[in-house]
């Protein structure tokens, strides 16, 4: 009873400590002492003696306590009873715990055994564990712990030593390796950065781009910043490092250079070709050479690409794309069949030689013009981009290709129109002068072109440069004015306005072609229609209409203002280049009756024809023609008419 009370743990259930053979070991004893007493420095001889003394007393105390308890049982028997009950309860609890532990062990062992002897295990396994159906899940094995013998020990020691040495060796190796690697890396980096620096020093813009989720790469920007999207992305080439630190050429840089070629075809025969930018002939090109080549090639490819897109909207102008060759009709005159052929060729390709070089200059100018126009389109794009953006709306702005072929086509058509009008005027002038009427013709270009320096002058606040202004002035459709004096102006004293023909060509909306605007001065209009009319302008879209109208106007002018005024008696017909002369009746009984005479003046394409008809029976007809040729003895118009006038 006293034991249970004084001790807190059921010591009796513990196994009795076995005799430790090493308990004599001084070390263990020290440890035990240390645990029991604490540090030695607190232990003194007096202290120990005192303690021994008190220990005796202590034991006595215990004995005394027991005695006291026996001495006064009646004092509080009830208390004592409660105490006992409490102790009993405690003991029962402890026993329960022990039983529980034992059952655990039993279950554990039964599970272990259940693999080999399931029946036996079944009898001892508790129902609680049984419900989980775990028999045979635990395994057991045992093997002897072998005592190492001396040689084995030694071998193991040697092996350990060996491993350690090997480890150290490896460490040294890897450090060395790291050093070499670092050295080669430094060399590589130096080489790489030197090359990058040399590129940058040549003026190429080197920049770093970070792509989503990838390492930032360094690259060179050689394309044009305002190129169309596809070519813009191709204008950047990453500069990657190879094993030796050199720069790996990107596919974009190592492509074969290309260039746009322009050939002139006349009547199915090639008569001229533009000179290709000569391949630089460097067999071992440096990276800068390659970048320059790539830049040039990219520009040419973009030019060709934009042009081929543009051909689609120019189909109505007979611009065709056949076998990757753009056919652009560029007639110099009405009859010629001149075609500009544009294609893109590899620079190192051997091309068939052309013997004829008569149109080389045209081809060369065309190809230069195309390049200038693309550059201008780039600048224009930047300019448009810098303007205040249009408000967002659902209407999409049409994305037309930049005008490259259109200005060229415009130029060719316009030049042809001007040439045709001029040819016609020269021809007419020659015919009239052969008939003794020396009229003059004039050709005046657009005022914007005549004072070009004034037009392209820029103010400092303007963002457009002079070069841009120059190009845009040149590619805006021009109005050229050709003029011819009327024959009547030679006779009249007052200065008469000439016939003016304004020539304007537009290949795009709204006219799709050349427009000839003839302005008829009021005096002329009044004179030829013999009534007061206002000055008018007439617009023709074909040259034939225009020339036949001018022919008529000149014929009318000749009949109404020249002949009718020079000779009396001739009455011009209204609206027709015809004159009639009634016979002069001196007296009603005049026998010598003169027949009525008609005179018809006709300016045609190649000649001026004057016809006189006498209304006799049968009709008498005489005619005279001038075709512009200068011959001796040729009479003038007035002479001829004067002759007929007096002829009976």
Using CB under 8 A as the criterion, which residues of the chain lie in contact with another protein when the complex forms?
225, 382, 385-394, 461, 463
Choose between 168 and 209: whose C-beta lies nearer to another protein.
209
Choose between 23 and 466: whose C-beta lies nearer to another protein.
466
Distance from the first to the final alpha carbon of the chain: 184
Least Cβ distance, residue 387 to another protein (angstroms): 7
Least Cβ distance, residue 225 to another protein (angstroms): 6
Choose between 269 and 385: whose C-beta lies nearer to another protein.
385
Sign of CA dihedral 247, 251, 255, 259: negative
Choose between 12 and 393: whose C-beta lies nearer to another protein.
393
Give Cβ neighbours of residue 103 (< 8 Å, ≥ 6 apart): 126
Choose between 126 and 463: whose C-beta lies nearer to another protein.
463
> How is 208-266 classified by DSSP, letter by letter?
EE--TTS--EEEEE-S-TTS-HHHHHHTEEE-EE-TTSPEEPPHHHHSPPEEEEEEEEE
Residue that has been written with the tokens 């001007």 in this structure: 418
Three-point CA angle 541, 547, 551, nearest 5°: 145
Strand, coil or helix: 458: coil
Sign of CA dihedral 372, 373, 377, 379: positive
Least Cβ distance, residue 382 to another protein (angstroms): 7
Choose between 365 and 463: whose C-beta lies nearer to another protein.
463
Three-point CA angle 272, 273, 279, nearest 5°: 155
* Stretch (H or E) spanning 598: strand 597-603
Q: Within 13 Å of residue 533, how many CA atoms lie on the same side as its CB?
A: 14
Q: Are 355 and 363 in contact (CB under 8 A)?
A: no
Q: Where are the alpha helices (DSSP H) in 492-633?
A: 522-529, 543-557, 564-566
3-state secondary structure 101-163: HHHHHHHHHHHHHCCCCHHHHHHHCCHHHHCCCCCCCCCCCCCCCCCCCHHHHHHHHHHHHHH
Least Cβ distance, residue 388 to another protein (angstroms): 6
Least Cβ distance, residue 608 to another protein (angstroms): 55
Question: What dihedral angle (degrees, nearest 10) is formed by the CA atoms of 93, 94, 95, 99?
Answer: 100
Please tell me the distance from the alpha carbon of residue 361 to that of residue 404, in angstroms, as a whole number.
Answer: 19
Please tell me the distance from the alpha carbon of residue 138 to that of residue 427, in angstroms, as a whole number.
Answer: 122
> How is 26-71 classified by DSSP, letter by letter?
HHHHHHHHHHHH--GGG--HHHHHHHHHHHHHHHHHHHHHHHHHHH
Is omega for the bond preceding 510 within 30 degrees of 0, making it cis?
yes
Choose between 393 and 589: whose C-beta lies nearer to another protein.
393
Choose between 12 and 388: whose C-beta lies nearer to another protein.
388
Burial of 577 from C-beta contacts in 10 A (0-12 / 13-18 / 19+): buried
3-state secondary structure 203-218: CCEEEEECCCCCCCEE
Three-point CA angle 244, 245, 246, nearest 5°: 95
Please tell me the distance from the alpha carbon of residue 556 to that of residue 452, in angstroms, as a whole number.
Answer: 40
Least Cβ distance, residue 460 to another protein (angstroms): 8
Choose between 207 and 585: whose C-beta lies nearer to another protein.
207
Burial of 287 from C-beta contacts in 10 A (0-12 / 13-18 / 19+): buried
Choose between 221 and 422: whose C-beta lies nearer to another protein.
221
Choose between 204 and 411: whose C-beta lies nearer to another protein.
204
Choose between 12 and 387: whose C-beta lies nearer to another protein.
387
Give Cβ neighbours of residue 182 (< 8 Å, ≥ 6 apart): none
Choose between 463 and 537: whose C-beta lies nearer to another protein.
463
Radius of gyration for the alpha carbons in the chain, expressed in angstroms and rounded: 60
Least Cβ distance, residue 235 to another protein (angstroms): 13
Choose between 139 and 391: whose C-beta lies nearer to another protein.
391
Least Cβ distance, residue 398 to another protein (angstroms): 17
Least Cβ distance, residue 459 to another protein (angstroms): 8
Choose between 225 and 616: whose C-beta lies nearer to another protein.
225
Structure tokens at 507: 């290949």
* Sheet bearing 325-329, strands edge to edge: 269-273, 258-266, 338-346, 325-329, 320-322
Q: Are 519 and 535 in contact (CB under 8 A)?
A: yes
Burial 324-334 (b: 16+ CB within 10 A, else e): ebbbbbbbbee
Choose between 286 and 463: whose C-beta lies nearer to another protein.
463
Least Cβ distance, residue 452 to another protein (angstroms): 25
């Amino acid at each position: 009873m006293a034991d249970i009370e004084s001790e807190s743990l059921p010591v009796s259930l513990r196994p009795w400590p076995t005799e430790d053979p090493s308990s004599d070991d001084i070390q263990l004893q020290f440890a035990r002492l240390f645990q029991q007493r604490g540090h030695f420095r607190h232990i003194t001889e007096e202290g120990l003696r005192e303690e021994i003394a008190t220990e005796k007393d202590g034991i006595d105390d215990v004995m005394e306590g027991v005695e006291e308890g026996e001495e006064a049982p009646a004092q509080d028997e009830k208390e004592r009873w409660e105490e006992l009950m409490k102790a009993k309860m405690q003991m029962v609890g402890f026993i329960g715990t022990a039983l529980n532990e034992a059952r655990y062990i039993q279950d554990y062992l039964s599970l272990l055994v259940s693999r080999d002897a399931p029946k036996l295990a079944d009898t001892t396994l508790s129902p609680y564990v049984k419900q989980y159906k775990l028999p045979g899940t635990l395994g057991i094995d045992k093997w002897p712990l072998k005592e190492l013998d001396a040689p084995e020990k030694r071998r193991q020691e040697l092996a350990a030593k060996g491993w350690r040495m090997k480890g150290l060796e490896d460490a040294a190796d890897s450090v060395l390796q790291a050093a070499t690697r670092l050295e080669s890396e430094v060399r590589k980096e130096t080489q790489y950065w030197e090359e990058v620096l040399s590129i940058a020093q040549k003026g190429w813009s080197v920049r770093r781009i970070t792509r989503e989720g990838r390492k930032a790469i360094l690259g060179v920007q050689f394309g044009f910043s305002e190129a169309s999207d596809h070519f813009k992305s191709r204008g950047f080439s990453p500069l990657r490092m190879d094993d030796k630190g050199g720069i790996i050429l990107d596919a974009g840089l190592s492509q074969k250079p290309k260039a746009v070629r322009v050939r002139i075809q006349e009547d199915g025969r090639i008569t001229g070709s533009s000179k290709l930018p000569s391949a630089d002939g460097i067999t071992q090109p440096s990276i800068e050479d390659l970048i320059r080549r790539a830049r040039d090639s990219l520009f040419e490819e973009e030019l060709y690409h934009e042009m081929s897109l543009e051909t689609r909207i120019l189909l109505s102008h007979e611009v065709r794309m056949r076998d990757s060759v753009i056919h652009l009709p560029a007639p110099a005159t009405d009859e010629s069949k001149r075609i500009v052929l544009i294609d893109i060729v590899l620079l190192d390709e051997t091309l068939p030689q052309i013997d004829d070089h008569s149109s080389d200059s045209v081809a060369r100018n065309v190809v230069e013009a195309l390049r200038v126009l693309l550059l201008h389109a780039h600048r224009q794009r930047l300019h448009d981009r810098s303007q205040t953006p249009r408000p967002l709306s659902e209407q999409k702005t049409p994305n037309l290709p930049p005008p490259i072929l259109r200005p060229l086509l415009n130029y060719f058509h316009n030049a042809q129109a001007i040439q045709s009008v001029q040819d016609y005027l020269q021809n007419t002038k020659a015919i009239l002068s052969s008939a003794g009427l020396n009229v003059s013709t004039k050709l005046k270009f657009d005022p914007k072109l005549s004072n070009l320096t004034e037009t392209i002058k820029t103010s400092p606040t303007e963002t457009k440069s002079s070069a841009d202004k120059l190009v845009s002035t040149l590619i805006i459709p021009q109005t050229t004015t050709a003029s011819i004096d009327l024959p009547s102006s030679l006779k009249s004293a007052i200065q008469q306005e000439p016939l003016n023909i304004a020539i304007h060509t537009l290949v795009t909306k709204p006219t799709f072609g050349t427009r000839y605007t003839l302005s008829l001065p009021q005096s002329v209009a009044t004179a030829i229609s013999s009534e007061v009319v206002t000055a008018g302008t007439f617009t023709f879209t074909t040259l034939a209409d225009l020339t036949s109208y001018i022919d008529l106007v000149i014929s009318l002018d000749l009949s109404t203002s020249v002949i009718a005024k020079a000779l009396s008696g001739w009455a011009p017909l209204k609206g027709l280049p015809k004159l009639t002369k009634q016979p002069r009746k001196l007296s009603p009984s005049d026998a010598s009756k003169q027949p009525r005479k008609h005179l018809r003046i006709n300016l045609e394409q190649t000649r001026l024809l004057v016809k006189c008809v006498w209304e006799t029976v049968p009709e008498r007809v005489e005619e005279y023609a001038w075709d512009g040729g200068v011959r001796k003895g040729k009479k003038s118009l007035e002479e001829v008419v004067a002759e007929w006038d007096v002829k009976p």
